[in-house]
Structure 1
Amino acid sequence: MKKLLFSIYLSFFVFTGLSHAQTSLPQDVDFWSNYPDDVLAETLVSRMSDEELLAQILMFGWAGAEPSDLLNSWVIQRGLGSVKVFGWNTEDIRKVAKSVRILQTEAAGRRFKIPLFVATDQEGGWIRHVKGETSDTPGNMAIGASGYPIDAYYSGYYINKEIKALGINMNFAPTVDIYTDLGSTVIGPRSFGSDPVNVGILGEAFAAGSIAAGVIPTAKHFPGHGDTSQDSHGKLPQINIDEEVFESRELVPFKYLIRAGIPAIMSAHLSFPNIEPDGTPASLSKKMLTELLRNKLGYKGLIITDDMQMNGATLFAGSAHKAFTMAIEAGNDIIISSETATLGSQIWTKNLALMQSSTEFKNRVREAARHVILAKLKYFKSPDAAPLYPDEKTIYEYIPDKEGQKFFLEQACRSISVYRKGEFPYRDNGESILIAGPFNSLFDEGRKRYPSADTFHFSYSLKEDESNYSSWNADGLYYTARRYDTIIITVYDRHTANIAKRLRDMGKRVIILSIMSPVHVLEDFDWADTILCGYSYSNYSYAALFGALAGEFEPQGKIPLDGDF
């Protein structure tokens, strides 16, 4: 009884002491005032209006080369907490830096001067939302193929060092989904591989590199997107695994990252009906985010939704504003929309009205806002934070990173895996050679080793509904290839695999260069002379693939998927 009374007394003392500190702070206190982070965060939250609290937990993206007037209005009038840089507006990185500078200046003009989290998806490899001159890297599966945590660390370091120069302070990476469903076109080479422990170790190393570079890493997609071929952009995927598999496989990488102190985790629009019987997506589930992630796993950092414009969330909830409500109630701290909502949108008006009618909901918004502001205080007051006001005139001094360029080539070479070894290394002995693929950089690397080679170009963007175009490419390649002794062809999806299969039984030497996921060449290609796996369409991967093929180094990579590869 005495222990209980002491505990109650201590809690009261701490609470009232903190409250006293809040009320005793000057009225003009702002984000940059020199007080302890927890006291300052609680003070700011206690003085914020409902509108300011709700705006602080929202993150909006923008379309076009620069932010719209609408997004600027959200920052200036509402105090929007975060913005997202998406891949359709980033070819001119100088404009990205300028946009960040303007938005942060607008945020600094509000009464509490709270800076913005500026986020993007710069995973490396396939997913690279900030384009322009940033490094196009070998990607996660290449890291998994090399198997070295140091490769994951420096990938995270150099990728984030580049985007930090643009004023981007949060990266939605690493992806720690386990590549379980080999038919998935959603995760594929974004994954480090099929082994949960390896994925956890490499994800932890990538996150450490990101932190060393001065950018907040975000592990995704909790609790794991790897065992489904469905895309939550279009529908709500169901993953029908039991609790034992869920615990011993899906959660393993996140446990590694939580123990390492990962500062942010992204919740996914995924249904696990054997875990959450009513089918609620993890991103909207209090059981998944509060009971499991917070309470059971002991996670202390920010929880951030995946894009709420994805149908996996809105179709289940019935409307966008209801999905936002459910996401907040579930325990998310930042709610993302790839589209900037109108100022009168129901995701604003309905949730603001709910704050005013429900004390429980208002307290949850307040708690989320406090998490966000406390995370901002810890980050922006550290010496390694990204610049608030990047200078677009100096961007090319940092991007691409010169040391990073050297590293990514070396890392690509460490990743190259031999799946089928025929005449290897293959040297130009005066035979006629045809190189077939979708990129000029592929041809450039090929001609460095095989200068007399001819080329055959087909589109990278072959889609399932373009079967006639695929057939045209296959026919064109077949008739062209008859004139050559050796054909070196790139395979990266089911359609290009079908094109390559037209070369079977021609009596020609066929060399397959697999990029992206290697699953398309793991069967039905026993007739090919040589198969090398490179895991991305990065120029570094092309250079490594042709370097290995020509015998410049001996490839040591291992395909990081379950099976005897």
Structure 2
Amino acid sequence: MPSSRTALAAAVTLTAAAIGAVTIAPQPTSAANWVDAALDRLSLEQKVGQLFVATVWGKSATEAHPNNQARYGVATPAEVVSRYQLGGVIYFNNSSTDNVDNPAQLAAFSNGLQRAALGSAPHIPLVVAIDQEGGNVTRVESPATEYPSAMALGAGRSQEDARTAAAINGRELRAMGVNQNFAPVADVNSNPLNPVIGARSFAADPELAAQMVAAQVRGYQDGGRRTETVSSSAKHFPGHGDAATDSHTGLPRIDRSAEDWRAVDLPPFKAAVDAGIDSIMTAHIQFPSLDPSGVPATLSRPILTGLLRDELGYDGLIVTDALGMQGVREMFGDAEVPVLALEAGVDQLLMPPDLPLARDAVLAAVRSGRISEARIDESVRRILKQKWERGIITRPLVDVRRIGDHVGTPQNLAAVQALTDRTVTLLRDDADALPLSGNVLVAGVGDTVNPTRSPQALAAALGGTAMPTGTRPSETVIAQAEAAARDADAVVVLTNNLSVFTQQRTLLTRLIATGTPVVAVASQVPYDAGFVDAPTWLATYSWRGVSMKSLAKVLTGEVSPSGKLPVAVPDGADPTVIRYPYGHGLGR
């Protein structure tokens, strides 16, 4: 066994080589020895820096952005990494934090951030994280491969398909320099009105959800060599599936007994632990039967240490959900939250709303004796171990020139399209409307920015006419759709969340009343089928382009719908009545 000094020398050699090279040959140093050597040379400030995974603004490491200046006092993402000696960063593609243009740009961005980490103390590569779940939560879009939602995979019932989707996703992310994916969602969507999980969950059935979660963990983490795979993260422990409040905007309370929690919410997380998952993300929820104090699970020692660590025997990383979410800020201030999270058993602190404040609060807690440095070492050791075992230390950089060889390849696109074709679910076809023919009108929700997932794209595939009506169609728009429907041979209506957007219910009801055959498609949550009594209902669980292509194949008869409901669909007016039971599906 090499000595600690030898391990440290190897680590320094790797670091120096990484700054100027793309591929680094693994050195004959064990994880334990490298971790010990690396930890020994870190100052307290550097250890605390390793705990944080932060948001950065911009699309390259050297892009100056005013939000970096306002939040961190420096202009560029590279300077944020260097100044705060970060353990990790996370990418987004939303309007407030847009880091993503395309795969090649993201790969170059990742390399730039890694060079910033390697070129400054403590010379340790970053965790580069993302939420690339598939379906609605997709950060890197086409020309990268896009994926159906978790619930679509649950409808397909194939563990192999779930594993394949995760393996392709993981390899593509790693080629872009991303080494941590905050997926899969392990929540069991037991509440049909859940405002934040929905189709992000595989199923309402704990056993099916557990099977799919385990399959995806294997796909992400065992889908290739360790330098080609990503760490996965099951979320959101102890289970967000019965929430009636969005934890981004409030603090959900789940009044489920501990016995019911073990029967419903626990199985997917246990399956993830048994599959060797690298990390588990916490939930900002109150769960009084598990911790009567009422603090969010993210800050609960009985939940994170008592249940996850001690009972389940989990010794991987525990990462918080984003600390800027209202669910974790409602009871405590931004300085107290990270300290409480560490006391509860958390290792990684994700996206603090005020990073300087959070870092200083943790340092002050250690210096005052409230948190021991040994407790900090415990978390840093787990973080460093994951970086070693996932190959981040030996190969932090990626080859931007070869991005097209790995991302969005014809083979990957074909494989994911094939498995998505197996997810579309036919709930009802009383009018025997399928397959469609003639002049087809496609109305309903769509994406005005990306034409691959709009009514226009579906209409083009069907040789029909598109009439996007949006999530909140006005009376004028509804009347125009009625007039157009009377001149059509059939109408396809894409719906999205009829429990909230009642205007879509009105549109669908009035189109049915025209007498023209109507095919309703739940393009996000299948629960839409409980709100309007359409004669034909399909569920795609996703409005991504890959799902719309599968839908077009079903509508034209090219593919027989073979998905089975992974949830029960209750009546929208009386939830005690089940319109479409779990496992229902009229296809083959």
The TM-score, its normalising length taken from structure 2, stands at 0.84
Shift of 1:445: 5.2
3-state DSSP of counterpart to 1:83: strand
8 Å contact kept, 1:489–1:500 = yes
Give per-residue Cα distances to partners, 1:378-431, cap 9 Å, x unaligned.
22279xx8x52223333233221322211122112111111111344635554x
Tell me which of 51, 56, 59 is aligned to 1:57: 51
3-state DSSP of counterpart to 2:211: helix
8 Å contact kept, 2:366–2:372 = yes
Tell me which of 417, 433, 436 is aligned to 1:409: 417
3-state DSSP of counterpart to 2:524: coil
Give per-residue Cα distances to partners, 1:331-380, cap 9 Å, x unaligned.
11110116573xxx221222212211216432221211111112212222
3-state DSSP of counterpart to 1:124: coil
Could you say if the C-alpha distance between residues 225 and 427 of structure 1 is closer, same or farther in structure 2, counting changes exceeding 3 Å? closer
1:354 aligns with 2:361: no
Gaps spanning 5+ residues in structure 2: where? 15-26, 62-67, 69-74, 569-577
1:336 aligns with 2:350: yes
Count of matched residue pairs: 528
The amino acid across from 2:377 in the alignment is R
Q: Which residue of 2 aligns with 1:233?
A: 248
1:420 aligns with 2:428: yes
Give per-residue Cα distances to partners, 1:446-475, cap 9 Å, x unaligned.
446642x2221123xx3xxxx6x5444333
Give per-residue Cα distances to partners, 1:94-115, cap 9 Å, x unaligned.
3221111111112112355311
3-state DSSP of counterpart to 2:493: strand
Higher mean displacement: 84-93 or 308-317: 84-93
Could you say if the C-alpha distance between residues 434 and 359 of structure 1 is closer, same or farther in structure 2, counting changes exceeding 3 Å? closer
Q: Which residue of 2 aligns with 1:510?
A: 518
The amino acid across from 2:298 in the alignment is S
Q: Which residue of 2 aligns with 1:156?
A: 166
Q: Which residue of 2 aligns with 1:13?
A: none
Distance in 1 between the 2:532 and 2:102 partners? Answer: 42
1:116 aligns with 2:120: no
Distance in 2 between the 1:26 and 1:169 partners? Answer: 23
The amino acid across from 1:414 in the alignment is R
8 Å contact kept, 1:515–1:536 = yes
Could you say if the C-alpha distance between residues 428 and 56 of structure 1 is closer, same or farther in structure 2, counting changes exceeding 3 Å? closer
8 Å contact kept, 1:286–1:331 = yes
3-state DSSP of counterpart to 1:123: coil
Could you say if the C-alpha distance between residues 66 and 502 of structure 1 is closer, same or farther in structure 2, counting changes exceeding 3 Å? farther
Q: Which residue of 2 aligns with 1:208?
A: 218
Give per-residue Cα distances to partners, 1:291-330, cap 9 Å, x unaligned.
110011101211111100111111222x111111111111
Distance in 2 between the 1:470 and 1:448 partners? Answer: 25
Q: Which residue of 2 aligns with 1:492?
A: 496
Shift of 1:275: 1.7
Look at both structures and tell me which one has the larger radius of gyration over its CA atoms.
1
Q: Which residue of 1 aligns with 2:386?
A: 375
What are the equivalent positions in structure 2 for 1:484-563 lying under 5 Å apart? 484-494=488-498, 495=501, 496-525=504-533, 528-562=534-568
The amino acid across from 1:154 in the alignment is T
Shift of 1:156: 0.2
3-state DSSP of counterpart to 1:122: coil
Shift of 1:483: 2.9
The amino acid across from 1:420 in the alignment is R
1:293 aligns with 2:308: yes
Distance in 1 between the 2:125 and 2:8 partners? Answer: 19
Gaps spanning 5+ residues in structure 1: where? 1-17
3-state DSSP of counterpart to 1:127: coil
What are the equivalent positions in structure 2 for 1:52-451 lying under 5 Å apart? 52-67=46-61, 68=68, 69=75, 71-87=77-93, 88-211=98-221, 212-213=223-224, 214-317=229-332, 319-337=333-351, 341=355, 345-358=356-369, 360-380=371-391, 387-424=395-432, 426-427=434-435, 430=438, 432-437=439-444, 438-439=446-447, 440-441=451-452, 442-443=454-455, 446-447=458-459, 450-451=462-463
What are the equivalent positions in structure 2 for 1:41-52 lying under 5 Å apart? 41-52=35-46
Distance in 2 between the 1:216 and 1:291 partners? Answer: 24
Could you say if the C-alpha distance between residues 210 and 407 of structure 1 is closer, same or farther in structure 2, counting changes exceeding 3 Å? same
3-state DSSP of counterpart to 1:481: helix
Shift of 1:234: 0.8
8 Å contact kept, 2:102–2:140 = no
Distance in 1 between the 2:7 and 2:293 partners? Answer: 49
8 Å contact kept, 2:343–2:371 = no
Distance in 2 between the 1:131 and 1:554 partners? Answer: 27
The amino acid across from 2:496 in the alignment is Y
3-state DSSP of counterpart to 2:318: strand
8 Å contact kept, 2:492–2:519 = yes
Distance in 2 between the 1:156 and 1:294 partners? Answer: 26
Could you say if the C-alpha distance between residues 249 and 445 of structure 1 is closer, same or farther in structure 2, counting changes exceeding 3 Å? same
The amino acid across from 1:73 in the alignment is E
Distance in 1 between the 2:80 and 2:9 partners? Answer: 23
Could you say if the C-alpha distance between residues 423 and 407 of structure 1 is closer, same or farther in structure 2, counting changes exceeding 3 Å? farther
Distance in 2 between the 1:65 and 1:413 partners? Answer: 34
Could you say if the C-alpha distance between residues 272 and 27 of structure 1 is closer, same or farther in structure 2, counting changes exceeding 3 Å? closer
Could you say if the C-alpha distance between residues 497 and 399 of structure 1 is closer, same or farther in structure 2, counting changes exceeding 3 Å? farther
Shift of 1:60: 0.4
The amino acid across from 1:374 in the alignment is K
3-state DSSP of counterpart to 2:120: coil
Distance in 2 between the 1:184 and 1:360 partners? Answer: 37
8 Å contact kept, 1:61–1:339 = no
Distance in 2 between the 1:425 and 1:35 partners? Answer: 64
Q: Which residue of 2 aligns with 1:40?
A: 34
RMSD: 2.4
8 Å contact kept, 1:230–1:237 = yes
Shift of 1:250: 0.8
1:473 aligns with 2:484: no
Distance in 2 between the 1:105 and 1:125 partners? Answer: 32
Distance in 2 between the 1:89 and 1:27 partners? Answer: 34
8 Å contact kept, 2:203–2:566 = yes
Tell me which of 442, 453, 456 is aligned to 2:467: 456
Give per-residue Cα distances to partners, 1:80-107, cap 9 Å, x unaligned.
1111111222123332211111111121
8 Å contact kept, 2:424–2:540 = yes
The amino acid across from 1:350 in the alignment is A
3-state DSSP of counterpart to 2:331: helix
The amino acid across from 1:358 in the alignment is G
3-state DSSP of counterpart to 2:160: helix
